[in-house]
Amino acid sequence: MTAKVLTVQSVDRLKPDPLARREIPDAGMPSLYLVIHPTGRKAWCIRYRFAGRTRKMMLGPYPALDLPAARSRAREAIQTLSLGRDPGAEKIEAAKEARQRPADHDLVSGVIEDFLERHVRPKNKARTAETAERILRKEVMPLWGRRRVQDVTRRDVLDLLDGIVDRGAPVAANRTLATVRKFFNWCIDRSIITASPCALVKAPSQETARDRVLSDQELRLVWQAADRVGWPFGPFVHLLILTAQRRDEVAGIVKTEIREGGTEWHLPSTRSKNKLASIVPLSAPASAILRSLPSIKGDYLLTTTGKGPIAGYSRAKSRLDAEIGALALDNFPGWTFHDLRRTAASGMARLGTNPHVVEAVLNHRSGTISGVAAVYNRYQYLAEKRAALEAWARHVSSLISEGSRHG
């Protein structure tokens, strides 16, 4: 059978063979199979070779384990295999340990501590780990902490989310569901439970993706407000505008990342949100800003202590808003630091930059550069990215110059 990329819709549509079990390979995640029993029951497994033998490991039932979660679990198993360990044998050992645990060991409070220690902190960025821990300690442990994790039901999950929505925090309810779902999926991996109570639970609130793009006049005022705020958040905002990179990536620039005489910023995968390394060509204005930064002992370029990157974004944003107000623009719509990245991307497109080059500047692997193409298309588009960012910098410079003439 020729493997095809499975989708949520195709998994739902696949029918059983009443005479034999079917195993459908997923081209989207090599080694992953959807098993369909004659009864119609569906489950996920992986097939792999270890010590010269073909082996099979069941991952979990569908839909309790959905397609994205199954791919994630398969990916983790293959990573374990790449380290010379047998993921199937480790799963059996984990199940054996689970059977030998005393009953109180499976209290939600204790399992959450284990989840934080073994998974959340070592496998996530600090900010992501802090958010997950805050949600679990604030929302989950007060309600379920003294209950066995095996006793938490789908009704309990819905009640938890309803309570958060009822207090007027629908987006927080969505974030809580995402965190709790990851927690219970991890519990399945550890053989603590066999099915997730989050299965088929939908996000309680619909979120609309932000699409705020600042006008040229608004962008000029943000730049001027950053000038008035000064060090360190003034240069920080200018760099956000000129590089089109993410807030934390810009704030955390270290000296060794600036190369080729200050004309390139080499963002490592360890600091990139999507774990993909990127080379960001620095336009002449961006390079000039970096050269003008005060020399502070330590690795960071945007720092006040020398021990870490700048912090206090909320306070800095309030100062910027106050300066924008002082520049006498009425009814300036709300904006965020991330809107500057979207504005730069939109601006580059408006200046004639091809979509795939804009995506390369943003270090995206979606849209025109996605799927298998993202794996094989390793070309950095360095010259094209430089041309796009230089053109964008010229446009921004012209806006600032125009504002100075009319100011």
Give the CATH number for residue 391: 1.10.443.10
The CA distance from 12 to 62, in Å, is 10
Q: Which residues have a Cβ under 8 Å from the Cβ of 124 and sit 6 or more positions away?
A: 132
What is the domain-level CATH number for residue 25? 3.30.160.390
Please report, in tens digits, the pLDDT of each residue of the chain (407 residues total).
567 889 988 999 999 999 999 999 998 888 999 999 999 999 999 999 998 999 999 998 998 888 888 998 898 888 888 888 999 998 888 777 766 665 567 899 999 999 999 999 988 878 788 899 999 999 999 999 999 999 999 999 999 999 999 888 888 899 999 999 999 999 998 889 988 999 889 999 887 667 889 999 999 999 999 999 999 999 999 999 999 999 999 999 999 999 999 999 999 989 998 888 999 999 999 999 999 999 888 899 999 888 899 989 989 999 999 999 888 655 788 899 999 999 999 999 999 999 989 999 999 865 444 443 443 344 568 999 999 999 999 999 999 987 665 55
Same domain, 89 and 117: no
In this predicted structure, what is the pLDDT of residue 1? 56
Alpha helices in 191-283 (DSSP H): 216-229, 233-243, 247-251
In this predicted structure, what is the pLDDT of residue 367? 46
In this predicted structure, what is the pLDDT of residue 224? 95
DSSP 8-state class, residue 119: I
Residue 3 within any structural domain of the chain = no
Instruction: Give the side-chain half-sphere CA count within 13 A for 308.
Output: 5
Residue 237 within any structural domain of the chain = yes
Find the helix packing angle between 337-350 and 355-362, rounded to 10°: 150
Same domain, 90 and 109: no
Among the three residues 80, 98, 116, which one is the final residue of a domain in this structure? 98
In this predicted structure, what is the pLDDT of residue 125? 79
Same domain, 93 and 125: no
The three-class DSSP label of residue 232 is coil
Same domain, 158 and 273: no
Burial 97-120, CB ≥16 within 10 A → b, else e = eeeeeeeeebbbbebbeebbeebb
How many independent structural domains does the chain possess? 3
Residue 210 within any structural domain of the chain = no
Find the helix packing angle between 170-189 and 67-82, rounded to 10°: 50
In this predicted structure, what is the pLDDT of residue 376? 37
Same domain, 223 and 337: yes
Same domain, 265 and 173: no
The CA distance from 334 to 203, in Å, is 26
Same domain, 178 and 262: no
Residue 199 within any structural domain of the chain = no
Same domain, 296 and 400: yes
Q: Assess contact for 344 and 244: CB atoms under 8 A.
A: yes
Same domain, 384 and 361: yes
In this predicted structure, what is the pLDDT of residue 94? 78
In this predicted structure, what is the pLDDT of residue 386? 96
Nearest CA to 157 out of 95, 59, 64 is that of: 64
The CA distance from 287 to 118, in Å, is 41
In this predicted structure, what is the pLDDT of residue 128? 85
Alpha helices in 261-381 (DSSP H): 284-292, 313-326, 337-350, 355-362, 371-376
Residue 287 within any structural domain of the chain = yes
Among the three residues 39, 74, 98, which one is the final residue of a domain in this structure? 98
Same domain, 58 and 174: no
Claim: this prediction has a pTM higher than 0.85: no
Q: Which residues have a Cβ under 8 Å from the Cβ of 161 and sit 6 or more positions away?
A: 173, 176, 177, 201, 204
The three-class DSSP label of residue 14 is coil
Residue 240 is part of which domain span? 216-406
Alpha helices in 104-169 (DSSP H): 108-115, 121-123, 126-135, 141-144, 154-166
- Residue 263 vs residues 31, 256, 270, 309, 398: alpha-carbon distances, Å: 43, 13, 21, 21, 21
What is the domain-level CATH number for residue 180? 1.10.150.130
Residue 205 within any structural domain of the chain = no
